Structure 1
Amino acid sequence: MSEVSRLNLTETAQVEIHTGKMGAQGGSNPKGESFGFTNYYMTRNEEPFIPVVGEFHFSRFSHLQWEEELLKMKAGGVHIVATYVFWNFHEEEEGVFDWSGSRNLRHFIDLCAKLDYPLILRIGPFCHGEVRNGGIPDWVFAKPIEIRSNDPEYLKLARKLYREIALQMKGSLYQDGGPVIAVQLENEFMHCGAPNDAWGYKAGKFLTSGTGGNAHLAELRRIAEEAGIQPMFFTATAWGGAAVPEEGFLPMLAGYAYTPWIPNQPPSREFIYQDLHAVPAEPVNYDTREYPVAYCEMAGGMQVSYNARPFVPADSVEAMTLVKLASGSNLVGYYMYHGGSNPVGKKGYLNEQFLPKVSYDYQSPLGEFGRIGESYDRIRSLSLFLESFGSILAPMTTILPDGQSNIEATDTEALRWCVRHNDGAGFVFLNNFQDHVAMSERPFRIELETSCGPVSFPKEGEAVLPANTGVVLPFHLDLHGVSLISATAQLLTEVRADGEHVIFFYAHHGLTPEYVVAKSSLSAIDTHDGQVSENEDHYVIRPVVGKNKSISLRTADGNQVRFVTLSRQEALQIYRFDLWGQPTVVISDGPVIAHHNQLVCSSPGSSSIAVSLFPAPKSEMRTNTGQTVPFQAEGLFHTYTLEFSAYVPQITITNPTEKSALLQFAGDWPSHVEDVWLEIDYDGDVAEAFLNGKLLTDHIHYGKTWSIGLKDVYNQLEQSTLHLSITPLRKGTVHTFINQAQVERFEGVEIAVFHRIEAIPHYRVSLFPAAQR
């Protein structure tokens, strides 16, 4: 048996929660909804709140698709949207501002307002964001000024920019009824710059990281407020010793484990538990005890560069989120949550050097063209947990077992775990993922001494923590009158229906689920779908896993509570919407969004999709094509199978050379096909896609399939040829010598070959109760 890990929580102090430095920065809108702060967490309508923030750069995506993508973000569990306003995207030529089309900030703000979506604007002047010059237009460098400083001439330019932005966002502040809750001024100020691509003579020339510290941020704030940009609070990127004003600014942190800026990157410490409220992960210029721990740039992926091509696994995104939550973070923000494409400028491309000219996919949960990645499901499952139980977690103190914060990143033997608790109730967090290190499954047994009594995980013997997995296990929680002493299943979400509180857990692969419940809290128990053993003062319940199984509990005070234990796969397919007048849990094997009181169901590549609904609709369900859809009862759920007529896109592929492919499309897409995606597997260095002679997108090869969504160029496809081109990957030796000029000779093999080019239809149908029409 493995060594028992023990922790006495009765001897630990609780964090002191008070107003802190952000206490005066909240506010309410005309509807009476509010946001606020303590020194430890954010509040929403005066309740503790752990928001999920998702970065989506509006100007890197087609404005025709913004609403749909925002709805996908909502369905994915994002509570707050963040976006950059890149100066050089809007004033590429001095004095000529462009706020049209996909640069239309006002339209994006209005869509957020329409969807009741809080918004954080990051307005520069310096933004970075992997754009040319960090967002500073080229023409600025022709002036004798010091950027990112209190140089009066630079401040004049900042004033003009802020006034233009203020015109676009007029009336959009939260306190005025709009969506904008916060504004970030500058970015990584006094910490780092960006490549100076305007200089151009050689690589490695960087912009200044800035001068003037808090005095410069104070000037930018004064200029912004004079222009009418007066949000409830400002934010500041606070890592790397960056400048952070003491009042009115929420310091925001970053966490990246797969980076192109560290050659031969060693394992990071991002997966080691810390108490970030008490001891910051790195030196910062503010008192961490006076502010909530907030992350605005936790890696949702990573942009591939020419010189470094990291792949970010979905396991890492999920594990880092759980480690930061366990370590005290009470705001999790993903950079990027939604990727996109750089617009092409009037004078050239607007990318940062060594990066793709157009593609900014970022391997993010939602990628270029709206690609849905594996991490989308991971983040959503964690967001559902925070939505239902975040108000319980937010005030809880981080407690580290001895030695946890000193574990080496390369250590594969030590059990990585910590606790967040409040008055004896809380959550045990375990992590068995580490970047750049292979981890093995880990037997464990954890015993806690709490003010509510002893707890062990599992109740008897030991359990197994799977490799590359993060787990959250509850203890001593009151769930609507059920006294849950412990569980080896992870809490997911809850909904009230038909007089019952239905609580959804899920079982991790290899971790046997059990619930230990105090007998005194129950008057009846129905374990038809499971086994129960009775002890002197508690029951140990071992459930059957699956959405069609459940356990019914009646509490001593008369509440009816039901536990449903989903499989890991079902948990990654679950959504929660307000639909048809009630909170509705959806389990779908394809992506879904809620729009106009309909459930819009998508099916990439498959001509059928199964959708399970709870509470079960009270009337028959129909589709937007007029079909009535039968259902199958599966426990609490009604499952609807939606079938489509299979469609095979008509595409002709010719190869003028091994490294080129010409694609001709024919025929209209049927109405139930919402998009067609190209999936391209190739070997080579870099690939580009041209339509009508213009670069549509590009791809630096990093070992994964290249995907291109076509719906935005659908009307051009039938009259045009799509050209795919590969730059060969060289394997061999380059010899350099001088003969009147520098000469290169390559000896070796050039690799450029297409292995698969396939057009994948994405089907779509809307589902709603027949009584609705």
Structure 2
Amino acid sequence: MTQLRMELYRKPKEIRPGKLGGLVGSNPKGETFGFTSFYMTRNGEPFIPVVGEFHFSRFSYLHWEEELLKMKAGGVHIVATYVFWIFHEEEEGRFDWGGSRNLRHFIDLCAKLELPLILRIGPFCHGEVRNGGIPDWLFGKALEIRSNDPAYLAYARKLYREIARQMKGTLYQEGGPVIGVQLENEYMHCGAPFDAWGYKSGVHLSSGQGGNAHLAELRRLAEEAGIRPMLFTATAWGGAAVPETDTLPMLAGYAYTPWIPNQPPSREYLYRDLHTDPVEPVNYDTLEYPVAYCEMAGGMQVSYHARPLVNSASVEAMTLVKLASGSNLLGYYMYHGGSNPIGKHTYLNEAALPKVTYDYQSPLGEFGRVAPSYDKIRSLSMFMEAYGAMLAPMGTQLPADQTAIVPEDTDTLRWCVRHRDGAGFVFLNNFQDHLEMPSREGIRIELSTPDGIVSFPRRGTLSLKNEASAVLPFQLRIDDIHLVSATVQPLTRLQDDKGQAVLVFYAHEGMEPELALGASSVVGATIAGEGAVEREPDAWLIRPAAGKGNSVRLELAGGRSATLLVLTREEALQAYKLKLEGRERLVLSDSRLYVKARQLICTSPGRPDWKVCVYPGVAGGVQLSCGKAEEGREGLFHTYALSVGAFEPTLDIRKPSARSALVRIEADWPEQVADVFLEIEYEGDVAGAYLNNRLITDHIHYGEKWPIGLKEFRNELEDGELHLSITPLRQGTVTSFVNQALVERFEGVEVAAFNGIRAVPHYVSALVFGR
């Protein structure tokens, strides 16, 4: 048995105004954002926001609203986006703000959908864009980029004035969504490949000159142009420059890093107190600011020389570890991938990266692809939304053995606690990048709190599976309930039809559900479905069966009642908290969900039949945009079994050679089909997809199928065919020598083959409740 013990310290985390304490932004509705030295506030309450990076200019503007709604349904509170200079002024003096470069349209959509926005406006952005976003023509000028050279600042001023025109009237204090602006990126820390150089690889742009003096000049130029946001942000890792005034320093965490050859296991999955002990040196007093991440890996872009396959469990585990370690703002780079636009004179990608695709293996990817990580981090975002006000002021406490752990240690169980006044959460992690962690059996945790010993579980032991991470609550007062301990993870909170509290948890594999409730707060407990209730002298011990068909009704000491739901892990990954018919409801579905106006939009990749479960239910039935629904009940949930009719797109595939495939696909899709994805399995080095002689996307092979969403190209597909081309992977020896010109001779086998090309319809139906 692994016995874990900790005595919780009694002194609470010191929280003071900090450097940003005087910064309060309010809008005409009276809504506010602010900061302490430890957390952000929303309308005066502690708040742990989730920030999702989505580059508008890397996605078709025709589908921005749908993708932003998917982000919102996924638990994103704030959107962040780059404004890449080279995308908008590829030719000097000719700014392009149209189509998918229409910044104002993107800002207005964020306003419409009530999504606050952080703009990262450069001039230097990086973002794996050509020259880090600096236009080629600027290098023909006699100036020093990323410096206070007056000639460079003159061009920066023109850029900011153009951006300001697009932003006019959109700042938070003006009633718009823009709450923050980042000037520059990783300044005084790193540059980007100098792709305009062209003579050899490995030449990089300057990391910057002048430190905070240059950032001060950029701020002056921005404010002079009318860009005066509630706050500025700065990328602060690697010793980067960080201004001290009205600027939130933000951090990064990556575990799959192409810029580190033969990367060892990273430190990103070890617990630490980030507020006092950041992962790497920084140029600011960490105790004066909240721990905030703007670039926590939502995936990783594949490069030609480094092709990491990012485990979706890594994104969930990193979120949990950073949260446990004291981060009170969690930003994903990328949350949503996309495609680089093609320039007028060249491709706009960074060297050695795909020319077009910027899928990034992110939760939402190129063409709107949904990854398993989307579901995993959505469950954590629901937890932060429900319990963030409690969690945000809680300090991190590490067990004594945790500070000595190195990433290569697969023997020591990784855990820590966040608490305040003896109440909080235990965090467990059993994931480490680049290593296989063993499953843990026979774990027992005991905490000494001011209100007594708390054990997980009360009797027996629990297990933690390989790659699993978990959050277990203790000594919390929630909606008149004293939750002493639980071996189930909090998911969300809501209210039933009578305004009574509903607490939703889920059970991890290997952890039998158990909730101990203080006897003084509960006078009775009744199981609906399977499970057991036991009355102990000091607590009610509830062991419900996991699953949406079961629930527990509590009678509380104050005369109110409450409901406990314990879902399975699979059900939790299908769970959304959405506003339907004027109130928040818990919705479970094996399809993908988001809400648009009164409609619940359901999309189902590859399956024309799926189920939607809603609690509390909606009276008055349901209307569907297409298909039919069979209504039913399962426990407390109203259920709808949907069927929209199968569709098999016609594919005509010709293969002129092993390296090429010509694909004609039926473009006349029925109403129940929102999109069709090609899923391509191939062997080779890299591949490209061409339509009407235009490269629409490409792929560097890294072991996964190659997905291509077709709805954006549907009209062109009616009369055209898609050309898929593979550059072969060489297995053999290349000999090179110079004979007037460079000569290469290859001896071996060239591998290029299509192993499968199939069309997967993505079905859709919109539900309106309460007809």
TM range, smaller chain: over 0.9
Between 344-353 and 443-452, the greater mean CA deviation after superposition: 443-452
Partner of 2:177: 179
Q: Does 1:644 align with 2:644?
A: yes
Partner of 1:131: 129
Q: 1:655 to 1:516 in 2, by over 3 A?
A: same
Partners of 2:629 and 2:643 within 8 A in 1: no
Partner of 1:161: 159
- Cα displacement (A) at 1:369: 0.3
Structure 2 stretches lacking a partner, 5+ long: none
Partner of 2:327: 329
- Cα displacement (A) at 1:724: 0.2
Query: C-alpha distance in 2, partners of 1:300/1:99?
Result: 28
Partner of 1:729: 729
Partners of 2:667 and 2:715 within 8 A in 1: no
Partners of 2:147 and 2:210 within 8 A in 1: yes
Partners of 2:628 and 2:644 within 8 A in 1: no
- Cα displacement (A) at 1:665: 2.2
Partner of 2:358: 360
Query: C-alpha distance in 2, partners of 1:6/1:275?
Result: 19
- Cα displacement (A) at 1:27: 1.0
Q: How does 1:401-550 map to 2 (within 5 A)?
A: 401-443=399-441, 444-499=443-498, 500-528=500-528, 529-550=530-551
Q: What secondary structure is seen at the aligned counterpart in 1 of 2:124?
A: coil
Tell me which amino acid in the other structure corresponds to 2:607.
S
- Cα displacement (A) at 1:539: 2.2
- Cα displacement (A) at 1:12: 4.6
Partners of 1:26 and 1:233 within 8 A in 2: no
Between 83-92 and 743-752, the greater mean CA deviation after superposition: 743-752
| TM-score, normalised relative to structure 1 | 0.98
How many residues align structurally? Answer: 768
Q: 1:37-71: CA deviations, max 9, x gaps?
A: 00000001111000000000000000000000000
Query: C-alpha distance in 2, partners of 1:431/1:288?
Result: 25
Partners of 1:480 and 1:559 within 8 A in 2: no
- Cα displacement (A) at 1:337: 0.2
Tell me which amino acid in the other structure corresponds to 1:54.
G
Q: 1:171-223: CA deviations, max 9, x gaps?
A: 00000000000000000000000000011100000000001111110110011
- Cα displacement (A) at 1:644: 1.2
Tell me which amino acid in the other structure corresponds to 1:343.
P
Partners of 2:190 and 2:206 within 8 A in 1: yes
Tell me which amino acid in the other structure corresponds to 1:149.
S
Partners of 1:425 and 1:452 within 8 A in 2: no
- Cα displacement (A) at 1:535: 1.9
- Cα displacement (A) at 1:536: 1.7
Between 449-458 and 695-704, the greater mean CA deviation after superposition: 449-458
Tell me which amino acid in the other structure corresponds to 2:751.
I
Query: C-alpha distance in 1, partners of 2:133/2:408?
Result: 37
Q: 1:574-603: CA deviations, max 9, x gaps?
A: 011111011111101010110011101111
Partner of 2:622: 621
Query: C-alpha distance in 1, partners of 2:91/2:131?
Result: 14
Tell me which amino acid in the other structure corresponds to 1:598.
Q
Between 451-460 and 560-569, the greater mean CA deviation after superposition: 451-460
- Cα displacement (A) at 1:74: 0.4
Q: 1:29 aligns with which of 24, 27, 48?
A: 27
Root-mean-square deviation (CA), in Å? 1.0
Partner of 1:314: 312
Partner of 1:552: 553
Partners of 1:119 and 1:180 within 8 A in 2: yes
- Cα displacement (A) at 1:224: 0.3
Partner of 2:72: 74
Q: What secondary structure is seen at the aligned counterpart in 1 of 2:542?
A: strand
Q: 1:130-189: CA deviations, max 9, x gaps?
A: 000000000111111111011111110110000000000000000000000000000000
- Cα displacement (A) at 1:742: 2.8
| TM-score, normalised relative to structure 2 | 0.99
Q: 1:667 to 1:426 in 2, by over 3 A?
A: closer
Partner of 2:223: 225
- Cα displacement (A) at 1:532: 2.1
Q: 1:684 to 1:628 in 2, by over 3 A?
A: closer
Query: C-alpha distance in 2, partners of 1:667/1:417?
Result: 52
- Cα displacement (A) at 1:332: 0.2
Query: C-alpha distance in 2, partners of 1:553/1:278?
Result: 41
Tell me which amino acid in the other structure corresponds to 2:544.
P
Q: Does 1:565 align with 2:566?
A: yes
Instruction: Percent identity, please.
Output: 64
Partners of 2:586 and 2:614 within 8 A in 1: yes
Partners of 2:10 and 2:422 within 8 A in 1: no
Q: What secondary structure is seen at the aligned counterpart in 2 of 1:113?
A: helix
Q: What secondary structure is seen at the aligned counterpart in 2 of 1:224?
A: helix
Tell me which amino acid in the other structure corresponds to 1:623.
L
Partners of 2:398 and 2:417 within 8 A in 1: yes
- Cα displacement (A) at 1:745: 1.1
Q: What secondary structure is seen at the aligned counterpart in 2 of 1:166?
A: helix
Query: C-alpha distance in 1, partners of 2:245/2:666?
Result: 60
- Cα displacement (A) at 1:509: 1.3
Query: C-alpha distance in 2, partners of 1:69/1:405?
Result: 41
Query: C-alpha distance in 2, partners of 1:639/1:264?
Result: 50
Q: 1:109 aligns with which of 107, 110, 116?
A: 107
Partner of 2:760: 760
Query: C-alpha distance in 1, partners of 2:305/2:559?
Result: 64
Query: C-alpha distance in 2, partners of 1:630/1:360?
Result: 40
- Cα displacement (A) at 1:568: 0.4
- Cα displacement (A) at 1:630: 3.1
Partners of 1:51 and 1:330 within 8 A in 2: yes
Q: Does 1:95 align with 2:96?
A: no
Between 251-260 and 664-673, the greater mean CA deviation after superposition: 664-673
- Cα displacement (A) at 1:639: 0.8
Partner of 2:660: 660
Q: What secondary structure is seen at the aligned counterpart in 1 of 2:400?
A: coil
Q: 1:504 to 1:770 in 2, by over 3 A?
A: closer
Tell me which amino acid in the other structure corresponds to 1:362.
Y
Partners of 1:588 and 1:612 within 8 A in 2: yes
Q: Does 1:700 align with 2:674?
A: no
Between 176-185 and 628-637, the greater mean CA deviation after superposition: 628-637
- Cα displacement (A) at 1:93: 0.6
Between 552-561 and 362-371, the greater mean CA deviation after superposition: 552-561
Tell me which amino acid in the other structure corresponds to 1:471.
A
Query: C-alpha distance in 2, partners of 1:462/1:682?
Result: 46
Query: C-alpha distance in 2, partners of 1:552/1:584?
Result: 18
Partner of 2:750: 750
Query: C-alpha distance in 2, partners of 1:720/1:72?
Result: 31
- Cα displacement (A) at 1:628: 6.4
Query: C-alpha distance in 1, partners of 2:588/2:431?
Result: 27
Partner of 1:54: 52
Query: C-alpha distance in 2, partners of 1:666/1:395?
Result: 56
Q: What secondary structure is seen at the aligned counterpart in 1 of 2:656?
A: coil
Q: Does 1:204 align with 2:202?
A: yes
Partners of 1:687 and 1:727 within 8 A in 2: yes
Q: 1:576 to 1:635 in 2, by over 3 A?
A: same
Between 741-750 and 557-566, the greater mean CA deviation after superposition: 741-750
Q: What secondary structure is seen at the aligned counterpart in 2 of 1:109?
A: helix
Q: What secondary structure is seen at the aligned counterpart in 2 of 1:527?
A: strand
Partners of 1:532 and 1:542 within 8 A in 2: yes
Q: 1:651-697: CA deviations, max 9, x gaps?
A: 10000001100001235111111110000011100010000000000
Partners of 1:621 and 1:630 within 8 A in 2: no
Query: C-alpha distance in 1, partners of 2:629/2:322?
Result: 43
Partners of 2:146 and 2:209 within 8 A in 1: yes
Partner of 1:681: 681
Query: C-alpha distance in 2, partners of 1:769/1:118?
Result: 28
Partners of 1:431 and 1:471 within 8 A in 2: yes
Partner of 2:718: 718
Q: What secondary structure is seen at the aligned counterpart in 2 of 1:95?
A: coil
